[in-house]
Amino acid sequence: MTSRRAVLSAAVDLLRDAGVASPEHDAAELLAHVLGTTRSQLPLVDEVPAEALASYDDLITRRAAREPLQHLTGTAYFRHVELAVGPGVFVPRPETELLAGWAIEVAPRGGVAVDLCTGSGAVAKALADERPDLHVHAVELDEPAHRWAERNLEGTGVDLRQGDFATAFDDLLGAVDLITCNPPYIPLEAWESVAPEARDHDPHLALFSGADGLDAIRVLERRAALLLRVGGVVGFEHADVQGESAPAVFAATGRWADVRDHADLAGRARFTTARLAR
């Protein structure tokens, strides 16, 4: 038996030295996971049994090697829903909750919502959870990611399909009220600047999008114009350095009104919304 304080202190030091962005949080989260409890209940634990310590040391070593925390616990939380995640699917980020929140607020009662590039199904599941009146559809191209989405969206009523978002939902052309999308948006040349957790573990299909990072957003603009009814809205995430270039993709075509960019809680440009004018 080893004291909880000593175990956590050593783990935090190891994660900090490895460059992990949130060593205290991750060390506590992994210990709670191993002990079958929650972070808030950890102060009630005085000693860590030897068997649990061995498992914990293994997880901390893997986290220090920059394996994503959510892959180690098998779970990610997004707004009010829980998601199963692991190798082969993009781990949903907290910033994307803002895009989902916008969609939940603006979707018309009983409307048709489509989540393109759904990944784990995070946005689609949040929509179905908080707006059960909506008819929610989602699509994912990548087979491993699609399998994770199937698992996460089972029993939610979401119509999940496998396919290319550039051609998906021909049966819904001109009938959609709301589109959400978290497309790939990292320029290929930015490879070295991407955090190891994403670069080495998230599917590259979900990360990189051409020389300027805007290729998928250009495809989204064309597809959204066909799927939405006139007056329907689209919201999509982008990189913080694309606060002008991403909205410009939509503004330049003349098909959209109310093209607007939105900042995240840290004040960084995060997602764009637009309304189909014609």
Question: Do residues 97 and 220 both lie within one domain?
Answer: yes
Question: Do residues 57 and 124 both lie within one domain?
Answer: no
Question: Do residues 13 and 93 both lie within one domain?
Answer: no
Q: Single out the residue in 33, 49, 65 at which a domain terminates.
A: 65
Each residue's pLDDT tens digit, 219-269 = 999 999 999 999 999 999 998 878 898 999 999 999 999 999 999 988 999
Give the structural domain span for 116.
Answer: 89-276
Question: Do residues 190 and 246 both lie within one domain?
Answer: yes
Question: Do residues 8 and 146 both lie within one domain?
Answer: no
Question: Do residues 196 and 237 both lie within one domain?
Answer: yes
* Residue 118's CATH number: 3.40.50.150
The answer to the question of residue 106 being in a domain is yes
Mean pLDDT by 10 residues, the chain (278 residues): 88 93 92 91 88 92 89 93 90 92 98 96 98 97 93 98 95 98 67 49 48 82 97 93 90 96 92 94
CA proximity to 247, closest of 269, 277, 225: 269
Question: Do residues 29 and 128 both lie within one domain?
Answer: no
Question: Do residues 269 and 150 both lie within one domain?
Answer: yes
Q: How many domains does the chain have?
A: 2
Question: Do residues 15 and 140 both lie within one domain?
Answer: no
pLDDT of residue 192: 47
pLDDT of residue 187: 52
pLDDT of residue 211: 55
pLDDT of residue 158: 98
pLDDT of residue 208: 45
The answer to the question of residue 207 being in a domain is yes
The answer to the question of residue 77 being in a domain is no
The answer to the question of residue 74 being in a domain is no
pLDDT of residue 249: 94
